[in-house]
Amino acid sequence: MARIRIEREKCKGCLLCVSACPKGLITIDKKLNARGIKPVRFKTDSLCLGCCMCAFICPDCCIEVYK
């Protein structure tokens, strides 16, 4: 069991985490954040391995991982 927490206001929408997640659990949010950018959103925690791939590649340090 694991999950991630994304700071949506810090997210710049580069989507590197989306491509890094081996389970495809990160997607683009439909709602804009205060930057006027569509940040990423964590889909579900049922499959999350807590592998931290998303957090390792995030250039803006806006992902925390819990396991």
Partner 1 sequence: MNKIFSRPKSLRNISTHYCPGCGHGIAHRLIAEIVDELGIRQRVIGIAPVGCAVIAYDYWDFDCCEAAHGRALAVATGIKRVRPQNIVFTYQGDGDLAAIGTNETIHAANRGENLTVVFINNAVYGMTGGQMAPTTLLGQKTATTPRGRSAATEGWPLKISEMLALLPGVKFIERTSLHSVQEVIKTKRAIKQAFQNQVDKIGFSLVEVLSPCPTYLGLSPVEALEWIRKTMIKEFPLGRIK
Q: Which residues bind to partner 1, rule: CB under 8 A?
A: 1-3, 10, 12-16, 19-20, 37, 50, 52-53, 55-61, 63-67
- In angstroms, give the least distance from the CB of 5 to partner 1: 9
26 neighbors 43 (Cβ within 8 angstroms): yes
Strands 63-66 and 3-6: antiparallel
As measured in angstroms, the least distance from the Cβ of 60 to partner 1 is 5
Instruction: Please tell me the distance from the alpha carbon of residue 49 to that of residue 51, in angstroms, as a whole number.
Output: 5
Based on CB atoms, which residue is closest to partner 1, 31 or 59? 59
